[in-house]
Amino acid sequence: MHQVSTKRQTAERPVHPFVADLRSTADSAALKALTFSRLRTGACKVHCSSCRLREVCLPVGLTREQLQDVDDGLVTSLRKVPKGAALFHAGTCFDAVFAVWTGSFKTIVTSNQGNVQITGFQMCGDLIGLGGIDTGRHEVAAVALEDSQVCVIPYAGLEILTRKVPALQKHFHRLMSREISTNHQTMLQLGGMHAEERIATFLLDLFDRLRVRGFSSSSMLLRMSREEIGSLLGLKLETVSRVLSKLHTTGVVSVNQRHIEITDMNALHQVLEGGAVRNDI
Amino acid sequence: MHQVSTKRQTAERPVHPFVADLRSTADSAALKALTFSRLRTGACKVHCSSCRLREVCLPVGLTREQLQDVDDGLVTSLRKVPKGAALFHAGTCFDAVFAVWTGSFKTIVTSNQGNVQITGFQMCGDLIGLGGIDTGRHEVAAVALEDSQVCVIPYAGLEILTRKVPALQKHFHRLMSREISTNHQTMLQLGGMHAEERIATFLLDLFDRLRVRGFSSSSMLLRMSREEIGSLLGLKLETVSRVLSKLHTTGVVSVNQRHIEITDMNALHQVLEGGAVRNDI
DNA sequence: CGAGCTCTTGAAGTCGCTCAAAAGCGGTGG
DNA sequence: CCACCGCTTTTGAGCGACTTCAAGAGCTCG
């Protein structure tokens, strides 16, 4: 989901590609919101206080002292997940949530009958695994769409720390809540929209999430296949391809394999307006 | 969602119909798990410690002292919502979550273009409004499917109390997490299943939730219309009706308007097995 | 450079939708 | 008590959007 490839990450002192990405964009507001200090990773330990994602991720809006509490109280380690590998499988024991640091993921739910559904794509700053708190087992699988790194946040520690730091508690609740409302939006797409509307909404949502993170708001590199997009949206890969082709030929977006550029933002919004109301209770 | 109609609720001392329902069922395990003390409602104040839903609702597994903390710390009032009325509308200010005490609700998300999607049905013990924590505004509307009553749980107080009572915190997180995984299951239905599979899954899920609450596990009275079921499952009301008719004629379930009885549980499960895998990533 | 993906595009098929009409149910009032 | 009205539900017939099947083109990476 970055347009800059992830390079130079030593085990000792990983440097976040986000920095380079931000510098290359015009979005100076998002740029200012982030700090550029190096991540201290003594033996793969990471500290929220020095992470440049901290204003996108879990510890949003914490004071210096509160961040210190987080550093002290939360034993957080960094974990690498190669492209295509699972961060965790469905049904395995839940004992930590994961914050995406670099790269991106898909989460997949599978029915007893073998039906498969992608429930979402996660990028840097997103939390993964919240659905496992209830039963103590992960109800989805999480798979890396590219070589990725995550912060491992032990849930037991998080429980304790959120009791100690109200601002952290508030934001943790916010992130769980956001997951819920995001899911509702996806259900809206799945339940009543035409193929074109689903794709348009998907693209707009993706661009928006990238914009918030300081990336370009007009072009992006998809990290997922047509089939994966289809699985999220309840469409077949051929349908996804056809719709993208149509949007390309009508001059709404420029599609070049996985490189997408929005050429006519108004037209993209009008794809949604044009769609008839299919469900009114 | 009860098969016994809700009667005799005075403003002073409402008696929960759940008690009557439980007594009429054979599920003695669920019956034992609940206490039958009267609800003290001095001026419409309610106390978790004396509520017979407390082992289904928010304060699960709390000790007597912890319950006392909840009673003292959480100013909870009871609110009546007539059939068809909104508990809250989308976009309105969020300052409390609601626990369904009697009756049932639907939650509805609406797109800017007017598309409408039901995101879930809630029955006694379920929490409503969790999606509003993130932005401070409700992202869905909640509408009563029948005359209902909810416990109003101010969110500010809940934040404080969950920091004080770890067991309450744990269970609150569990309920948020459950909402997430429930949504994922719905997305699985919406994304890849055939109409028959969606209906079968819906019925099985509904029966399961009723069973947990001590109701009969073989017959129920639907509180929602065919159109509302269709909205949840991404189907038209005619399709819902047709599928129910087919299941009826094939002897899987007995459908009589909104009265549903499962006559062949195995066959209902086989509706799912028979469905071909339509999505494999 | 070639094997294995992913993606595109076409043609035929199908499941669920749309449109339509009638029946059933519940409530109201003469 | 029964006729009437509005709403929900059922059922039929035809249609359309998306899927399925199929073949070929384009990437990617060892």
| Among B220, B240, B244, residue whose Cα is nearest residue B228 | B240
Does residue A194 lie within 7 Å of nucleic acid chain D, judged by its CB?
yes
- Predicted TM-score of the model (pTM): 0.85
The answer on pLDDT for A214 being more than 90 is no
Kindly list the residues from chain B whose CB atom is less than 8 angstroms away from the CB atom of residue A281: 108, 116, 118, 227-228, 231
Does residue A246 lie within 7 Å of nucleic acid chain D, judged by its CB?
no
Give B198 or B280, the one with higher predicted confidence: B198
**A215 and A152 share one domain:** no
Residues in chain B: 281
The pLDDT tens digits of the residues spanning B40-74 come to 333 366 788 877 787 778 888 888 888 888 888 88
Looking at the 3D structure of chain A, how many domains does it have? Answer: 2
Helix locations, A105-165, DSSP H: 155-164
CA dihedral angle for residue A100, residue A171, residue A134, residue B58, rounded to 10 degrees: -170
Residues in chain A: 281
Q: Write a three-state SS string for B127-196.
A: EECHHHCCCCECCCEEEECCCEEEEEEEHHHHHHHHHHCHHHHHHHHHHHHHHHHHHHHHHHHHHHCCHH
Residue A68: predicted pLDDT: 87
**A198 and A177 share one domain:** no
Kindly list the residues from chain B whose CB atom is less than 8 angstroms away from the CB atom of residue A179: 180
Residue B17: predicted pLDDT: 45
Does residue A192 lie within 7 Å of nucleic acid chain D, judged by its CB?
no
The pLDDT tens digits of the residues spanning B77-116 come to 899 999 999 999 999 999 999 999 999 999 999 999 999 9
Nearest CA in chain B to A117: B188
Burial environment of residue A7 by CB neighbours within 10 A (0 to 12, 13 to 18, 19 or more): exposed
Q: Are A144 and A87 in contact (CB under 8 A)?
A: yes
Identify the DSSP state of A25.
S
Which domain-ending residue is among B148, B165, B188?
A: B188
The pLDDT tens digits of the residues spanning B190-246 come to 999 999 999 999 999 999 999 988 888 789 999 999 999 999 999 999 999 999 999
**A15 and A127 share one domain:** no
Task: Supply the CATH number for residue B231's domain.
Answer: 1.10.10.10
Does residue B254 lie within 7 Å of nucleic acid chain D, judged by its CB?
no
Give A217 or A162, the one with higher predicted confidence: A162
Q: Do B169 and A163 touch (CB under 8 A)?
A: yes
**B175 and B204 share one domain:** no
In order, the DSSP letters of B211-269 are: HHTT--SSEEE--S-HHHHHHHHT--HHHHHHHHHHHHHTTSEEEETTEEEES-HHHHH
Kindly list the residues from chain A whose CB atom is less than 8 angstroms away from the CB atom of residue B183: 180, 183-184, 187
Instruction: Give the SS3 label for residue A54.
Output: coil
Q: Do B272 and A113 touch (CB under 8 A)?
A: yes
Task: Supply the CATH number for residue B103's domain.
Answer: 2.60.120.10
Q: What percent of chain B has pLDDT over 90?
A: 66
A153 forms bridges with which residues in the sheet?
Answer: A97
**B135 and B227 share one domain:** no
Measuring from the CA of residue B278 to each C1', which nucleotide is nearest? D19
CA of B232 to C1' of D20 (A): 27
**A13 and A51 share one domain:** no
Question: B122 is in which domain, residue-wise?
Answer: 39-188
Which domain-ending residue is among A140, A166, A188?
A: A188
CA of B5 to C1' of D4 (A): 28
**B57 and B154 share one domain:** yes
The pLDDT tens digits of the residues spanning A107-146 come to 999 999 999 999 999 999 999 999 999 999 999 999 999 9
